[in-house]
Amino acid sequence: MNEIVGRAPENIFDTWGLYRKIVNSNHMFHKEIYADIAETLQSSPRNFTLLDLGSGDAAHLAPVLAQLPIGGYCGVDLSLTALGFAEQSLSMLACPVELQHGDLLQVLKGKKGRYDVVFTSFALHHLDARQKADFFKAAHARLNTGGFLLMVDTVREEHEDLPGYLDAYCAWVHKWQGIDNEEQGLVCRHILDNDFPETLSTLKVFSQQAGFASCQAISRYKWHSVLRFGR
């Protein structure tokens, strides 16, 4: 039975409709990325368990998981609106599904069980450097032997500082088709206020310090990367 844990009133402006519009237009390469995710998860064992941190509406991940021998899913998100959509998306899964409302890092640190896969998509770049390092340590602790962290996120070029990245990304947003000027402005304000992506070399350092044995760059579309960290 599906379960949503910790319902509480929303207390921030919710622009989930705009995010869905961006995703449906494939501006952030979700089609290509989730094809790569599907291929990567093919190696997972039968009845594998997956912890999805920053699950959003799970609209792209759910169809992928429905084709795999998944034994259990837990999704975590700070948006109750997103979790409501996720409950609908994940209804296609035959395995137990749990949806938990909360901050992904706090929930991850508080988890007691272990998973075969820890998955996160476009969430880590909202954390500062110390929090990212803590995330890798907590994710490593929650993985079974042989498990892996599968990450989708924006990653800066090695030569690119944060201000340069923010300028370049926002300039690209203003070229998006099907998103009007006001919506482009909302996206850029969100990015300028909340996005702190790292370079791949920095993410590798965090993962090594946390105990991960490997880092595989699966694919990259502009700044959008799919990364696999093996325990």
* Fold topology of 3-155+198-230: Rossmann fold (3.40.50)
Amino acid at 45: P
Three-state SS letters, the chain: CCEEECCCCCCCCCCHHHHHHHHHCCCCCHHHHHHHHHHHHCCCCCCEEEEEECCCCCCCHHHHHHCCCEEEEEEEECCHHHHHHHHHHHHHCCCCEEEEECCHHHHHHHCCCCEEEEEEECCHHHCCHHHHHHHHHHHHHCEEEEEEEEEEEECECCCCCHHHHHHHHHHHHCCCCCCCHHHHHHHHHHHHHHCCCCEHHHHHHHHHHHCCCEEEEEEEECCEEEEEEEC
Q: Which residues contact 101 (CB under 8 A, 6 or more apart)?
A: 4, 5, 6, 7, 8, 76, 77, 78, 80, 83
Angle, CA of 19, 38 and 168, to the nearest 5°: 40
What pLDDT is stored for residue 1 in this prediction?
41
Q: Which residues contact 72 (CB under 8 A, 6 or more apart)?
A: 47, 49, 50, 95, 96, 97
Q: How many residues does the chain have?
A: 231
What pLDDT is stored for residue 148 in this prediction?
97
What pLDDT is stored for residue 196 in this prediction?
97
What pLDDT is stored for residue 20 in this prediction?
81
Give the chain's residues under pLDDT 50.
1-13
Write the pLDDT tens digit of every residue in 83-135: 999 999 999 999 999 999 999 999 999 998 999 999 999 999 999 999 999 99
Q: Parse the chain into domains and list their residue ranges.
A: 3-155+198-230
Q: Which residues contact 16 (CB under 8 A, 6 or more apart)?
A: 57, 79, 81, 82, 85
- Provide the whole-model pTM: 0.91
What pLDDT is stored for residue 135 in this prediction?
98
Mean pLDDT over each residue of the chain, to the nearest integer: 92
